[in-house]
Structure 1
Amino acid sequence: MARRTSSALLQVIEEDLDAGRLLPGDTLDEQGLASRFDVSRTPAREALLHLAAIGLVRMVPRRGAVVQGLSPGLALGMVEVLTALEAEAAGLAARRMTGEEREWLRTLHAEARPAMQRLDTAAYMAANAAFHGAIYAGARNAVLAEQLRLTRRRMLSYHRSSLGQPARVKASWREHGALLEAVLAGNEDGARAAMRDHIQSGGRVFADLVAGHEGGTT
């Protein structure tokens, strides 16, 4: 394998996190990463330190880096932050999206319907990410988009579990419809309110899953 830099190594690890190949509680160590990617321990260490700095892993003596889980308190805090960030993105998108971008958002919502009807979690998660990604792009705020992506990545494992529940998949698609209507109308306040309701609705499921996991009931 060609020599990798710490940034390239970091990208692969983040892809593993996004795809669910790494889950909360899984461990990563410098030597293991160095061997896997045929690099020295330096880029492996740099990648792990960066992941720790942004809260995706925690460094544990004699274990290495452990993929970070969420306590119920932290989960609640993250849902509150995500609600505020997503609502702001929706309001900005309603103001700033071009006509072409609005039609693309309509298309993405329609394309998500078959996955929702089949209750196909993997397909719906991909469609959900595309829909929210279009909102972020339409908001025209790179700093806001980066914060949203980082927050969502930290919540991803539990988000995947919540969208494994049929009722949540159906509700999510309906909520996207309400948000779409507000964005198409250029209604900033309506878009913020619809997004806020959407995130808070999913957040309740998310928080229950985290609480159950912490209590050993999942």
Structure 2
Amino acid sequence: MKTNTFLLIMLLLLLAIGLQSQTLPEIQPGIIGGLNIANFSGDDIEDLDDAGFTINNRTLFHLGLTGTTNITSNIDLRGEIALSMNGSKWKVNLDFEDEDFDTVPFTITHNIYMIQVPVSLILNVPLPNSAVKPYLGAGFSASIPVSSGWEIRALGEEEEGDYTDEEFAELSSFVIGYQFNLGLDFNKILCEFRYERGLTPVFDNSYIDETFYSNFKFLVGFRF
């Protein structure tokens, strides 16, 4: 809990830099979106891997609004509010002693829609005589799951459900994470690669308390 509180304070401090400084110019709004190569990581996932599960990425989406303001000549503060889809797919062959079959493919697909608020400090690297401006960034994010579910497939049958204590595992109501940004800015058009990882667990469950989201995002944006 102390770690979560510290991370939340850091996120709020980053926001306060942009809100309270009297020297910052107006915020430049924009849009950003693209692919989210989503998965889970952590000790629980490693245990599943050791047990014979195959943990697969899912190619999902990310779409949001951005606000960028300049702090110094080469440093920006960028905030974002986005709908980001997270999840993972777990596969395993279950062994059975049966006359008709020996093993049964078993798949669990996880879907989690999250409202995400990442805040990053961006270091711009101007190139001489070039309109292309590479940048690096890093920061923290806060995420709130707004819709979620799981799907199980086995023996040609499908079953769907939500994350609850009775059925699978309840989701955390609030997740803190961090991100690293690497991108190019060209005449207000952004092309960005972003790595994200959760610092607090996805599930609020004592048996699944070491599962974190782990995403690679390929994004394109435009600042107005």
TM-score interval, smaller chain = under 0.3
What TM-score do the two structures reach when normalised by structure 1?
A: 0.24
Query: Larger % of strand: which?
Result: 2
Larger Rg computed on CA atoms:
2
Query: Larger % of helix: which?
Result: 1
